[in-house]
Structure 1
Amino acid sequence: MPIAPSDPTAARRLWDISPPVDADAPVFPGDTPYQQRWVVTIGPGCPVNVSAVTTTPHVGAHADAPLHYAPDGAPIGAVDLTPYLGPCRVVHAIGCRPLVTWAHVAHALPDDAPWPPRLLVRTYARMPRDAFDDALPGMDPALLERLADHGVCLVGTDSASVDPADSKTLEAHQVLRRRGLRVLENLCLDDVPEGDYELIALPLKWMRADASPVRAVLRALA
């Protein structure tokens, strides 16, 4: 009898980069926090537990849709999934405020080597999980332009936004819109070393939503 080949991915380590989502998960001030109630519970005449959840689609690790920052933008259920799956590079820029700039990531993106198609930036030593960070680190629009020029299709951050929390112009988000970049926010990169990985962070097929939670993971390349 022929022996089935072993799964080449079986021994590849996974990093779960999704923070916990529950009633304590911080959300942008004024947004809808996570709430859950039980519709039915297991008991006489009922064989299952069923809950109802109310929350913002921007809770926890999530993917923004173009609809989030453009009135005519695509909802998250209509975007191409390709950017959310594939090779990526994690770069540490811990402590950078108020913006992640080219100077913070240049060490990981040498001009004499190909750039990765996806870039995840760690800005916190420990990601805030109990309260919203009003002084969150955003991303320099000029950096996003440069990444797009080099073929990057997705950027990710452990911050709650690529723009400062008090921004009204959302300059970084507008670069995402104009250059066709996809974005992941609220990733938990606390324990992830700098380096190259496979990213798996697929959004839900919510056909009218401005964002979607993702269960984001990184997988070792070998």
Structure 2
Amino acid sequence: MTKWIDITQAFSNKISTWPGDTPFQFEFAYTKEQTGSVNMGRFTTSVHTGTHADAPFHFDNNAPTIEQLDVNIYIGRAKVVDVIGLESIGREELQVFDLDGVERLLLKTAKTVSVERFPTQIPVLKENIGEFLQEKGIFLVGVDHPSVDALDDKQLPAHHALYRHGVHILENLFLQDVTPGDYELIALPLKIQGADGSPVRAVIRSI
């Protein structure tokens, strides 16, 4: 039986987060010695730390929040493609791949990913990627870095272009050890009412 591969960044108190955003912190609220029966942990975090799904509400006040999205977006066949070395990724860069029948596309952009160090520069998705993915029937795109837009971009053209064309977003996947190819994907967001995003536990299995 083919095993599932975990492509999730592990949460720890050392995980990087967006500068100025809420850092992840886990601690024990109570120990077994204190309660007499159980350990009880608690954590604080931004919903955009680590491997996560963006809800359209993240960048559009009139768009759906995370619990309003269909869970089937995040479950099903996916294709991992190697685009390592590209500074920007759009129609021109992706049309060289066979994407016929693909519904979920995961972009491997880096040979190595440092979970504990926030990047200073990342590959970006071009605005024309939204229309291209829609033409191919792709409704979910995932990347192995914190954003689909440049880190200092306030207009977020790729986020908006993807949403206009019905494409949802996963960020901070851990793909450095994954061979390009076809997989099953499960990357379910938590059902957080009114949230602009959510951590996911992302796993894939070769098909």
Do the two structures share a fold, i.e. TM-score over 0.5? yes
Runs of 4+ residues deviating >6 angstroms = none
Q: Quick one: which of 40, 43, 62 aligns to 2:52? A: 62
Question: For residues 205 and 2 of structure 2, what CA distance do their matches in structure 1 show?
Answer: 6
Question: For residues 34 and 143 of structure 2, what CA distance do their matches in structure 1 show?
Answer: 47
Match of 1:7 in 2: none
Q: Is the 8 A contact 1:199 1:217 kept in 2?
A: yes
Match of 1:212 in 2: 198
Does residue 108 in structure 1 map to residue 97 in structure 2? yes
| Equivalent pairs, count | 207
Q: Is the 8 A contact 1:40 1:46 kept in 2?
A: no
Match of 1:125 in 2: 111
Equivalent positions of 1:22-101 (< 5 A) are 22-43=12-33, 45-97=35-87, 99-101=88-90
Does residue 203 in structure 1 map to residue 189 in structure 2? yes
Match of 1:145 in 2: 131
Question: For residues 39 and 65 of structure 2, what CA distance do their matches in structure 1 show?
Answer: 31
Q: Is the 8 A contact 2:133 2:167 kept in 1?
A: no
Question: For residues 45 and 196 of structure 1, what CA distance do their matches in structure 2 show?
Answer: 48
The alignment partner of 1:107 has SS state of: coil
Report how far residue 44 of structure 1 moved.
Answer: 5.5
Larger radius of gyration: 1
Q: Report the TM-score when normalising by structure 2.
A: 0.95
Name the amino acid aligned to 2:67.
Answer: G
Name the amino acid aligned to 1:180.
Answer: G
Does residue 187 in structure 1 map to residue 157 in structure 2? no
Q: Is the 8 A contact 1:20 1:60 kept in 2?
A: yes
Q: Is the 8 A contact 1:138 1:159 kept in 2?
A: no
Name the amino acid aligned to 1:206.
Answer: I
Unaligned runs of 5+ in 1: 1-10
Question: For residues 116 and 156 of structure 1, what CA distance do their matches in structure 2 show?
Answer: 13
Higher strand share: 2
Cα 1:43–1:90 shift into 2, 3 Å? same
Q: Is the 8 A contact 2:80 2:182 kept in 1?
A: yes
The alignment partner of 2:155 has SS state of: coil
Report how far residue 143 of structure 1 moved.
Answer: 1.8
Query: CA RMSD for the aligned pairs?
Result: 1.3
Report how far residue 128 of structure 1 moved.
Answer: 2.3
Match of 1:134 in 2: 120
Report how far residue 66 of structure 1 moved.
Answer: 0.9
Unaligned runs of 5+ in 2: none
Question: For residues 144 and 44 of structure 1, what CA distance do their matches in structure 2 show?
Answer: 53
Q: Is the 8 A contact 1:24 1:130 kept in 2?
A: yes
Q: Is the 8 A contact 1:122 1:189 kept in 2?
A: yes
Report how far residue 31 of structure 1 moved.
Answer: 1.0
Per-residue CA deviation, residues 39-67 of structure 1 (Å, 9 max, x unaligned), is: 11011542111112111011111000011
Name the amino acid aligned to 1:144.
Answer: G
Name the amino acid aligned to 2:125.
Answer: M
Question: For residues 75 and 134 of structure 2, what CA distance do their matches in structure 1 show?
Answer: 17
**Aligned sequence identity (%):** 39
